[in-house]
Amino acid sequence: MIFTQKWTGRRVGYEESFPVTVPGDIQADYAQFMGWGDVNYGDSWAKFRQLEDDTWVYSTRVQCEANENERVYFVTKGIEYEYDVCMNGKVLLHHEGMFTPVDVDITEALSYGDLLEVIIYPHPKREGAAECRDQADQCCKPAVGYEWDWHPRLLVSGLWDETYIETRKESFIRDAEVFYTLDEDLKGAEVRFEIDCDGECEVELYGPDGLLVYRGPERVIRLENVKLWWCNGQGHQNLYQWAVYSDSKMRRGRIGFRRVRLVMNDGAWDEPSVFPKGRSNPPITIELNGRRIFAKGSNWVTPEIFTGQIDWGTYEKQLDLARRANMNILRCWGGAIINKESFFDLCDEYGLMVWQEFPLACNNYVGTPHYLAVLEQEARAIIKRVRQHACHVLWCGGNELFNDWSMMTDQSHALRLLNKLCYEMDFDKPFIPTSPIMGMAHGHYHFHEVDTGRYSFEIFNGSSNTAYTEFGVPAIVDVEQLKLAIPEADLHDPKPGGVWQSHMAFGAWGEESWFCKGILDDIFGPQETLEDYIEKSNWTQCVGYKHIFEEARRQWPHCSMAINWCYNEPWINAAGNMLLEYPAKPRPAYYAVQSSLRPVLPSARMETFAYDGGSVFSAELWLLNDAPVEVSDTIHVYIIIDGVKEHVMDWKTGVVPAQTNKRGHKIQIQLPAEAVTQKLILRLESDRYDVSEYELLLRGKKKVDEPEVKILNM
């Protein structure tokens, strides 16, 4: 039986206790108790700084006792970050690490109403480290809370996931996991139940149609005509349900049968070709059930600063939007938490493949004995939980560890340990030590490099990486959203320092990011109002993302991944690269990306973003198809300038095989010398699919005299 307890919180050194929510974060509870207001607004976030080195206590009076032949357990899926579990003042468990489940037998120390406490130690900070993410380089706490370029410095801890008291009979099922081995031809499978229980158990297996496949005492079941699990866009998300029963407990779960491998990208074996000769690029193409997949999606970051508040609903809104955006993969970035169970459940259902990183990001996690011990324990817990999910396709050591801002290498013991643990515990799953590895690339994160004059168009047209697993185009969020974060007095005065800066509009990643005033001025000239900047930056974000995603798809099968930075955000940033504004509001760029990720779409490859009036505009036509079916289409090409829609040509694509792109004609058009608006719209209409439209910059001499421009002062 499960007993949910009522807990109270206390800040050590202070008398008063305060109400807490479990699961939750004790700093959030304390802030509410103190009336600190919405963390998203103004500089409220900064108040949490004073709580960083505090110790906290969760207390509860246990509302149950053990019957005969029962034992009582304190159970939680995880406690952030270092803590003691105490009964009546006696320490039963000391632990470091938030991803290891807790399962403490409290029977001996227990009477009804006894005091159960969880003492939470101060946030780990490596001694001598600068006050930034460096402080996290000897622990397994997510580095993001120590400040990132889209996350304020705000550290949380506490009973952040499901927590309860449980009474258990002898026949309690301590653990049940289901493994399978698919036949080489993927038609049949051997299913193995591994059950940790002292009593008798029965197992059940139901098909994706809900019909019973097996019920009985066997632990190994042979299955024929297996219905495979596919990612979004490639087939059904078939999930089998299983359950294990003893006379006092049931455990249940789901299996999605699929085979996943990393295979070599097309052409990778052909390089290098001259002496002295190096190695070929490593494989980064996902092969799912024998089919090579173009992985298209986004980087998933913490969806809430207060991770204890994340629940099924939080995930469901964002993940449903990801599925609707035609995504098939999410990269769960190593700076953030390992998500709660419902995240993976939903990804299983929605066909969103999960690339899971361990909690290492942008630091040198030196392999000291203490760090390796904590990492091993946390990694084992993470692997054991995540490996069960059909959606999970890839392990990764962490984010950007092989670059000079991290300085880990292939020799780093932490990464060798993770490789070893994944080999031992999840043999068939691919593992990469970090992203990017050889052949892959991260960046750029701006639409335009002022110093080189390159737009993201030239940058990606000129690149030939095997996978683009981070790239971003920033934009300012809309005014309604800004009002929830920026006080009225500052709203129309965006500038470095103050609340605009703490909400990441300035100085977040270099001076420009993420408002990018200098970049926007360079492209469009100085703008008059905040709304003008918002409009222009959203224009660049939409067309920029659209071009990069489609260019990466054009590079298939040499390139096999396009995963932008980033999908979501944990609070209200004033500007950034995300597709959803906090908490789950699609930005214009969301719809642009949704359009670019359609299984089949007409697409155009432009050389750049900005065109001079009177010059020749050219674009190459493509039909992009990553669906597992052959297609054909006729594409009608139009140019729209100043509202005049001009028919350019029609392209009959002919048959385009499954998962193949087809290159078409290169259109070339003499642009007018003058135009009223600065927009050149290329529009591709289709007989079968939705329209694709690209808004480009036309630097024609304006037909009418310009009014005097009032420069926005910042």
The residues of the shown chain that bind a second copy, judged by CB under 8 A, are: 261-262, 264, 269-270, 275-280, 282-283, 402-404, 407, 409-411, 413, 416-417, 419-420, 423-424, 427, 430-432, 434, 436-445, 449, 459-460, 463, 465, 468, 471
Q: Which of 140/264 has CB closer to a second copy? A: 264
Find the shortest distance in angstroms from Cβ 193 to a second copy: 21
**Shortest distance in whole angstroms from residue 691 CB to a second copy:** 29
From CA 126, how far away is CA 42, in angstroms rounded?
29
Report the residue number, 66 or 372, with the smaller CB distance to a second copy: 372
Nearest CB to a second copy, comparing residues 87 and 382: 382
Q: Toward a second copy, which CB reaches closer, 234 or 406? A: 406
Dihedral class, residue 525 (left if φ above 0, else alpha if ψ from -120 to 50, else beta): left
Instruction: Output the smallest distance, CB 536 to a second copy, in A.
Output: 22
| Shortest reach from residue 277's CB to a second copy, in Å | 5
Residue number with CB closer to a second copy (55 or 419): 419
Residue 520 or residue 548: which is nearer to a second copy going by CB? 548
Which residue carries 């609340």 as its tokens?
A: 499
Which tokens in the block code for residue 262? 């990393």
- In order, the DSSP letters of 508-530 are SSTTTTTT-HHHHHHHH---SSH
Minimum gap (Å) between residue 472 Cβ and a second copy: 10
Least distance (Å) from a second copy to the CB of residue 278? Answer: 5
Start-to-end CA span in the chain (Å): 61
| Residue spans of beta strands (DSSP E) within 518-641 | 561-564, 575-576, 580-581, 585-586, 600-606, 610-612, 616-625, 634-641
Q: How far apart are CA 49 and CA 660, in angstroms?
A: 52
Nearer to a second copy, 114 or 449 (CB): 449
Taking residue 551's Cβ as centre, other Cβ atoms within 10 Å add up to 24
Nearer to a second copy, 438 or 649 (CB): 438
Query: Whose Cβ is closer to a second copy: residue 169's or residue 392's?
Result: 392
The distance of closest approach from Cβ of residue 564 to a second copy in the complex, given in angstroms and rounded to an integer, is 12
Residue among 474, 489, 461 nearest 555 (CA): 461
* Shortest Cβ 279–a second copy spacing (Å): 4
User: Where are the alpha helices (H) located in 351-505, listed in sequence order?
Assistant: 369-386, 413-425, 456-461, 479-483, 488-491, 498-502
Q: Give 238 or 465: the residue with its C-beta nearer to a second copy.
A: 465
* Surface-to-core class of residue 121, CB atoms within 10 Å of its CB (0-12 exposed, 13-18 middle, 19+ buried): middle
Measure the CA–CA gap between 562 and 470, rounded to whole angstroms.
8
> 522: Cβ–Cβ under 8 A, 6 or more apart, which residues?
448, 450
Q: Find the shortest distance in angstroms from Cβ 324 to a second copy.
A: 27
- Distance (Å, whole) CA 301 – CA 298: 9
CB nearer a second copy, residue 404 or residue 705: 404
Please, are residues 80 and 156 in contact by the beta-carbon 8 Å criterion? Answer: yes
Complex with a second copy: residue 3 or 423, whichever CB lies closer: 423
Comparison of 115 and 407: residue with beta carbon closer to a second copy: 407
Element (H, E) at 590: helix 588-596
* Closest separation in Å from C-beta 400 to a second copy: 8
CA atoms 636, 641, 646, 649: torsion sign: negative
- b/e code 289-301 from CB counts within 10 Å (16+ = b): bebbbbbbbbbbb
Q: Do the beta carbons of residue 548 and residue 460 sit within 8 Å? A: yes
Q: Residue 414 Cβ, how far from a second copy at the closest point, in Å?
A: 11
> Beta 102-105 vs 70-76: how paired, if at all?
antiparallel
| Shortest distance, position 366 Cβ to a second copy, whole Å | 13
CB 522 to a second copy: min, Å: 17
Task: Give how far Cα 272 sits from Cα of 216, 267, 432, Å.
Answer: 56, 10, 21
C-beta closer to a second copy: residue 508 or 530: 508
Q: Which DSSP string do the residues of 306-331 spell out, in sequence order?
A: SGGG--HHHHHHHHHHHHHTT--EEE
Cα–Cα distance, 573 to 500 (Å, whole number): 9
Q: What is the DSSP string of 634-682?
A: EEEEEEEETTEEEEEEEEE---B-TT--EEEEEEEEEPPSEESSSEEEE
Residues forming a β-bridge with 638: 647, 683
What are the backbone dihedrals phi and psi of residue 13, each rounded to the nearest 5 degrees, phi first? Answer: 100, -10
Q: Residue 269 Cβ, how far from a second copy at the closest point, in Å?
A: 4
Alpha helices by DSSP H, 325-364: 341-350
Between residues 413 and 585, which has the closer beta carbon with respect to a second copy? 413
| Neighbour tally for 196: CB within 10 Å | 11
Beta partners for residue 475, in sequence order: 576
To the nearest whole angstrom, how small is the minimum distance from the Cβ of residue 455 to a second copy?
A: 12
